[in-house]
Structure 1
Amino acid sequence: MGVILAVFLIFSYAYSYDLDSLLDEAIREVESEKSEKYYNLALKLFNEGVYKLAVKNGELFIEKNNFDRRKLEDMLLLLSVSYYKLKETKKLFDLYLRFIGSGISKDIKLKLFVYTNNLLVREKEWKRLKIVRKKWHRYFKNKKIRPKLKGVYSRFEPGINIFSLKEGNIIGDNTVYIADKNLTLIEIAKKIDMGYDELKISNPHIDPFDILKGEAVFIPRRRLLPEQNFEFGTVYINLSEKRLYYPLIIEGEPYVISFPVGIGTDNTKSPVGEFFISQKKENPEWIVPKSIREEDPSLPPVVPPGPNNPLGVRAMRLGNTEYLLHGTSKRFGIGMKVSHGCIRMYNRDVVRLFDIVNKGTKVVITDKRFKIFKNRYIYLEIFELSVKDKIDILNLLKERGVKITPYLIDFYNIEKRGYSIPL
């Protein structure tokens, strides 16, 4: 009798345990379905500009979700932007305090800081701003990278225009820049060796011509080289991101030199293809092409070297073409579509590149509006997407075993452009 009772008790306990597990699993599935609904609806509403309803669903998602970090980070970014646009200072401040010291990615913390900091600056809430800054310096005070290279390479700035090559074809780390006075995005770009467009697309909610003292700008320095299987010693230029890459082995270690560039307008596009450096000139004269003189008859046949020469202080010819990689006499235009097809650089950058690039160096020019490469993770980098591009991204990710909603691609095309995103 005792044996039968013991078996019954064991069976009852096991049955009860299994039933509890099944109930817990069923509850988790229901909660997961609910949170997925809130997630997709929040993204859809945000993309349509319905921020108040997007916030409601985003907040419900965070309340229900405790298992999917990537989706949590998507919602935190969505809420940060929405609170910023709706001027919900207390909600944004509380969100910042809750998550700035948590285990979310550095990129989301950077964005959370940018929007919280900037809203408080705009609203002149100095007490809260002081708390935000104190927390920021505690966790993420930027450390200056000391130059280690010698000779001609010591003139490059680590983490700004020369980078150690990380896994696969990834370089750089995203950072923030805090304006020390009222500035424009063009002025900031020049200060930190970036292009205007790459800063503008990665800071979609900042007025590029009205950045107040104390406001923060997100700096997108983590990038993928334009080719997965790149060649050291070849110059790569991707027109869509308006950036040049030059991977090299220096002192036995892999590095990538990278600079912003200005490119041709939509009517006078820069060329795409493989070229080589066929000619190098210091302080070049500009022999004005006939087509440009027809546009502006006041131009002379030849512009001599000097501060008014559009070619700047250095010029390198691409193959047997009329296209040049050159400096500039303009105070703006780097990182923009401004030229008649030539590749334009800051003078200080073109001098540094000129001194390390030999005649005969291969130059590969591409026009990739997005990149998808697999290193340790699958990375996506977006610049400007067409409808077809969005479909292509979804299909390419599906082939690699990554399934994401079209709403998320639209969201990333607004909020995560200009730098590599691990998926």
Structure 2
Amino acid sequence: MTYATGIGALGFELLYLAATVVILSTIGYEIWRLARRYQWLAPSQMLGDLYNSRVLAVATALVYLFAMVPYLAAQIRGLEAMFSYGGLGSLEAILISAALVYSWIFIAGMWSVALTDTYQGLLMLSGGLAYLIWALFYLVPARGLTLSDVFTELSKTGHLGLTGFWSLSTFIAYTLPWAFFAITNPQVVIRLYVPRDEEAYKKGVVAFYIYGFLYTLVVVLVGLVAAGLAATGALPRGLGWDSVTPYLLGLMHPPLGSLIAVSVIAAAVSTANSIVLAVSSSLVSLSEKKSLAVARAVDAALVVAATLVALLGTGFIVELSVLTSVILLPLAPITVLGVYRQPRTSTVMRRSALASLVVGVGLATYYATVLGPRRAFREVVAGLPLSAWVLLVSTLILVAGQLVESKLTGSRGALRAQPPG
């Protein structure tokens, strides 16, 4: 993305990182604290308890079931890119990627996914730093250039400023849904329940921030170097967003390229497994008879659906990921209000929360269906991108419910205060 659109991609990533840290430090902490009391297993169960509504819990689980497909497809597309580096064709790479994701669910399960997160995190960071060092101190000199030459070219092409791609509406379209990622995406929310105590939770937030910041700098700097070399003619111009990393890996010595490819594969498999397990647990946890066979069937259906989306090539990896967050945006105001004003047990709030979810998700899904994922989340309606409308509409419905409830509560209080007769 940095290769194609310039330094604006850094702003997009850093705003996501900052927003996520703020959310994890505030509402995320409250969710962890409440999870200790209620023993939540899945986000759908959490929202059902906060609003005392089984219908809302089921609706949330069903939204996860289809909304997470684009994001899961993005992980399979990422795996495809890495396997194509190994010489596999597109179809074979996608099918092997899907088989790997589903097999690891059977082999691993949630505990092993959590454990391998630690290993793949270390592998990704070491691989990323090696990637950056290689780009700065080998790739650039090997093309007969200096870093000064590269950044001079970047300045000429406008990559060091906001390119034409990064209009205000586009920036909002990308960043707004990603800013609420930590409380809308089930594979993240479910991990808020895991830390054993407050100290472990705080250490996790700090580690996430440090790791996220370092890795963001790595990939942005590599993207800028690639764009600068392309501007000089040392690398091809106009590489597709998802083709830049495989192309650069192909220039490396095989052991180094393989190390970085494996680190990306580890991250994609871990993320894909987290998505699938979070969605299936959101469904199965609502059933009185919790069946592992049903969970595995849901897992298989998700992987098959995501594989079909990946085969269709309906969007870039970044776009597919953001599209999922747009569809899930209505869960942000519902979660915030539910956590800070719990318990929300009135009929009015149950109905307004359900209406907020249905209308917001319906609006995002309508545009995604009509326009396709590549255009949907960047579509501007009356001066605002789709993501802003989804968040605004769903929030207004919830606020209206809150006002109606306050009015009714005030009326009942006034009646009780009146003297008899």
- For the superposition of Structure 1 and Structure 2, which TM-score range results when normalised by the shorter chain? under 0.3
Structure with bigger helix share is: 2
TM-score scaled by length of structure 1: 0.21
TM-score scaled by length of structure 2: 0.21
Structure with bigger strand share is: 1
> Which structure has the greater CA radius of gyration?
1
